[in-house]
Structure 1
Amino acid sequence: MDVAVFHPGTQHSWQTATALQDLDRLAWYATSIFYQPDRFPYRLERYAPGALGERLHREFRRFQHPGLNPAKVRTAGWAEWAERIAKRLGQRRLAKRIDMWGNDRFVANLAAAVTSAERFALWGYSGSSRSTFELARQHGRTCILDRTNGDFRIYNRMMEPVRQDYGEWFLPAERPIPQEIIDSDAAEYRLARRILVGSPFARRTIEQAEDDPTIRDRTRVLNYCYDEPLFAHLPPPKPVGRDEPVKFLWVGLVIPRKGIQYVLEAIEKIPPSAAQLTIVGDLKLPRRVFARYSDRVRYIPTVSRADVPAIMADHHAFLLPSLFEGAGITLYEALASGCALIQSDRCAEAVTPETGLQIGQPSTESVHRAMMTMVEDRDRLNAWRAAAQGEARQYSFAHYRDNIAGELASLGL
């Protein structure tokens, strides 16, 4: 039986769809944004003058997936673009409302396909699958839930002491997850025949939160993959000299959940001659807080996916001391770029003793200690970097595709 993939945004859904396409098992892929240069609004990049045209192209190519057959892709709605514009304007609450409205519209557009006579299973993503799964189950369809984060009941529990200690680091919109969303997530669990998560940590949070043993039994870890063609051209990393600063990198949302507070406090304790820090991503911190550390940080706003490999390859070590993470594709990308890793045990288990350091309880002290290890021991740092690209092969697209095939076989699809 073929599988239809749907996601109102993107995340790694395009890789799931591509894997199913390679297995000749993709019914269709529904999403909000898919770059096709001959269609509107993507044609605008041709006619916009100078810098504006270049900026549009950089934005549009973030959603370029040449491996996918456009005939298998179904797009609908402007909500995703409206949400992104609202975020860029700093209107985060408005963006959240648009996101919820857009998700509802997206689900409504799927109804005709779900109720059709065509035979296929459904692969949906957490936070946007409940209504579609409810309809699908009424029509006897198998539902696969790709849970991209841990259980939010555990998230609220883990983040409460962080809010007490670092309250000023949180934007007003960064609140505990409301019960309505938690209840909807639990409904998705019940509707899914298989629940897939991107890390053992994410699975543990579901096991801790759920009393229903059948939900725990239906939950499996499916490691994600990184975009290999995007990183294939990168050369092996060069050794870091003893007389140059270690260049640390952060890529992703800049939020307390991911441990940015510990990284900024740690870099402040290290002389600029010994360490530099670059942050790439959407800044979700109060500006007054971030400003305290601006003299120690090179900040780059969100960039195109195509620009990420060069940025990563220009750095020596990658930081993800996250407090709560579903997986961590950026960890795989960092390995492919030749970066040593500093990560917590609350995300994908990408780091090994040969590629970097794993910290237990994230804190300023634990992050600082790990960073100083790399600053002071260049031989270990260079050995970790030399082994990184080889370790990245464990997270290849081929492995991901084959693991999906195994999951489908275990479900009898």
Structure 2
Amino acid sequence: MRAQTPVLIGHPGAAHFIYEMVAAVEALGFDSRFETGFYYDPQGIWARLLARVPESYRGKIERELKRRSFPSIDARRVLVHPIPELAYVAAARLANHRPAVPKAVMAWRNRYIDSAIAGRIRREKPRLFIGHDTSAIRSFEAAKQNGTLTVLNQMIGHLAVGDRILREEAALHPDWADSLHAGAPQSEIEQCLAEARMADAILSPSDYVTQTLIEVGVAPERIHLQPFGVRVDRFKPPETVRDDGIFRLLYVGQISQRKGLKYVLEAVKQIGDRSIELVLVGGLVGEGRGLTPYEGWYRHVRNVPHHEVEKLFQSADAFVYPSLHEGSALAIFEGMATGLPVITTLNSGSMVRDGIEGKIVPIRSVEAIAEAILTLKNDADLRGALGRAARVRALGFTWGHYRDRLGPVLDGVLGIG
């Protein structure tokens, strides 16, 4: 039955968890295709062009291109619109200090690819379309006209809720404001509300996302909890324990105040213990003025390709992710799989349970973060117990489990029994 069911998945950009979802739908046996911006086929034209690049440059370019590829996806089933996506990538890299520029280009990219997908839905009439928040309104409208069923894959807490939190944060900490992307246009918020209303079903990666959807009026019975996964074969505890007298606290993600970084920086500074090393891994959003008061209290490692990041986790003693607004941070899953106790918030959308795999702290609480850091630093037995429990918890959230949970949801939407 699934093999005779055409499914179209649309997403304009690139994200590891999107590729995992596409691969899961394919592995479930549906007649699926994926329409996106740019995708790298190791056997395709971009690979042939890459072969002509001088060897001294080829490795770096290939490493970047591999971030847009996934071995479990059949590249023959991928439909691309590279120009708008490449325009966005260029804007994000060349004008990152002016966040309004890449944000505007991203909005144009989303509209362009959404319109292209809507055209395909009208022409080909798939049985099911899976779209993503902020980029599916035209596709959903075309689907409703055609009788195509729709699923919204809600990747982050609803924009109406998130924008309120980010506006508050920008007012609290103006030096971080350019990292927040607060002040979403009302038209964009209305679009996200319409996408949630129109979808026949919504996939939510966490309880936090579910809570924000209910807050904006989505009926709970239309929401299906669909936690992300982690590759536990890649992210695993180190074979040997580091013993250099340093307590290394790791964060992996964008360097943005949406992630609550000021609060962990302030906590480390207030503790004032030079044996605590805070490592921030990720690209800087905005000009970084908010980091200035904390120079000397953290180490910044810029972007690391996803396929090289596991060694950073293995070098840490604990993982911290005090996000204000999230979907479900993959980095937390990766920290758990590596056997790290986690300090995080409910808004981070993780599967961490307070006192079992880590410490859950309120958002914006320097005091709670500092207390959690000191507790983990000073109690090696507790740190070890929480880390072992985190690894066990992660073993129940692999991408195989994600696929197994997704199948019945899609079957239910389609009426496959």
| Superposition TM-score, scaled by structure 2 size | 0.91
The answer for the alignment partner of 1:225 in structure 2 is: 229
The answer for the alignment partner of 1:132 in structure 2 is: 139
Moved more, 76-85 or 35-44: 35-44
Maintained 8 Å contact 2:7/2:32: yes
Cα distance in 1 between the residues matched to 2:384 and 2:297? 24
* AA partner of residue 176 (structure 1): G
Secondary structure of 1:296's counterpart equals coil
Cα distance in 1 between the residues matched to 2:102 and 2:260? 24
Cα distance in 2 between the residues matched to 1:375 and 1:43? 51
Alpha-carbon offset, residue 387 of structure 1? 2.8
Identity across matched positions, percent: 25
For residues 16-53 of structure 1, what are the alpha-carbon distances to aligned partners after superposition, in whole Å with 9 as ceiling and x for unaligned?
11111111014201121222234344445444445532
For residues 171-211 of structure 1, what are the alpha-carbon distances to aligned partners after superposition, in whole Å with 9 as ceiling and x for unaligned?
1772222211110011101210001111111111121222x
Indicate how the Cα distance of structure 1 residues 46 and 244 shifts in structure 2: closer, same or farther if over 3 A, else same. Answer: farther
Cα distance in 2 between the residues matched to 1:272 and 1:40? 53
The answer for the alignment partner of 2:351 in structure 1 is: 350
Cα distance in 2 between the residues matched to 1:259 and 1:166? 11
* AA partner of residue 365 (structure 1): E
* AA partner of residue 321 (structure 1): P
Secondary structure of 1:292's counterpart equals helix
Cα distance in 2 between the residues matched to 1:156 and 1:402? 33
Alpha-carbon offset, residue 7 of structure 1? 0.3
Alpha-carbon offset, residue 216 of structure 1? 3.6
The answer for the alignment partner of 1:54 in structure 2 is: 59
The answer for the alignment partner of 2:378 in structure 1 is: 376
The answer for the alignment partner of 2:342 in structure 1 is: 341
Secondary structure of 2:255's counterpart equals coil
* AA partner of residue 9 (structure 2): V
Maintained 8 Å contact 1:107/1:131: yes
The answer for the alignment partner of 1:406 in structure 2 is: 408
Q: Does 1:202 align with 2:209?
A: yes
1:64 to 40, 60, 69: 69
* AA partner of residue 71 (structure 1): R
Cα distance in 2 between the residues matched to 1:369 and 1:221? 32
Secondary structure of 1:67's counterpart equals coil
Maintained 8 Å contact 1:237/1:386: no
Q: Does 1:307 align with 2:272?
A: no
Q: Does 1:169 align with 2:166?
A: no
Cα distance in 1 between the residues matched to 2:43 and 2:396? 36
Cα distance in 2 between the residues matched to 1:277 and 1:199? 27
Alpha-carbon offset, residue 55 of structure 1? 2.1
Secondary structure of 2:101's counterpart equals helix
1:91-106 counterparts in 2 under 5 A?
Answer: 91=96, 92-106=99-113
Moved more, 36-45 or 358-367: 36-45
Moved more, 375-384 or 51-60: 51-60
1:20-59 counterparts in 2 under 5 A?
Answer: 20-49=25-54, 52-59=57-64
Cα distance in 2 between the residues matched to 1:65 and 1:127? 24
Q: Does 1:193 align with 2:204?
A: no
Secondary structure of 2:376's counterpart equals helix
2:149 to 142, 147, 150: 142
List runs of 5+ in structure 2 lacking aligned partners.
none
* AA partner of residue 29 (structure 1): F
List runs of 5+ in structure 1 lacking aligned partners.
none
Cα distance in 1 between the residues matched to 2:255 and 2:282? 6
Alignment coverage as a number of residue pairs: 407
Cα distance in 1 between the residues matched to 2:104 and 2:164? 25
Cα distance in 2 between the residues matched to 1:260 and 1:173? 11
For residues 270-307 of structure 1, what are the alpha-carbon distances to aligned partners after superposition, in whole Å with 9 as ceiling and x for unaligned?
34542111111121243333233232222122221111
Moved more, 364-373 or 345-354: 345-354
* AA partner of residue 404 (structure 2): D
Secondary structure of 1:180's counterpart equals helix
| Superposition TM-score, scaled by structure 1 size | 0.92
Cα distance in 2 between the residues matched to 1:45 and 1:271? 49
Indicate how the Cα distance of structure 1 residues 261 and 177 shifts in structure 2: closer, same or farther if over 3 A, else same. Answer: same
Indicate how the Cα distance of structure 1 residues 325 and 172 shifts in structure 2: closer, same or farther if over 3 A, else same. Answer: closer
Maintained 8 Å contact 1:194/1:218: yes
Cα distance in 1 between the residues matched to 2:157 and 2:110? 21
Q: CA RMSD in A?
A: 2.2
Moved more, 366-375 or 79-88: 79-88
The answer for the alignment partner of 2:165 in structure 1 is: 158
Maintained 8 Å contact 1:126/1:148: yes
The answer for the alignment partner of 1:13 in structure 2 is: 18
Moved more, 159-168 or 47-56: 47-56
For residues 41-97 of structure 1, what are the alpha-carbon distances to aligned partners after superposition, in whole Å with 9 as ceiling and x for unaligned?
444544444553232122112122011111211112222222122222234322222
* AA partner of residue 335 (structure 2): A
Maintained 8 Å contact 2:232/2:395: no
Secondary structure of 1:81's counterpart equals helix
* AA partner of residue 397 (structure 1): W
Alpha-carbon offset, residue 262 of structure 1? 0.5
Maintained 8 Å contact 1:240/1:246: no
Alpha-carbon offset, residue 349 of structure 1? 3.4
* AA partner of residue 83 (structure 1): Y
Secondary structure of 2:277's counterpart equals strand
The answer for the alignment partner of 1:88 in structure 2 is: 93
Cα distance in 1 between the residues matched to 2:48 and 2:335? 33
Cα distance in 1 between the residues matched to 2:32 and 2:176? 44
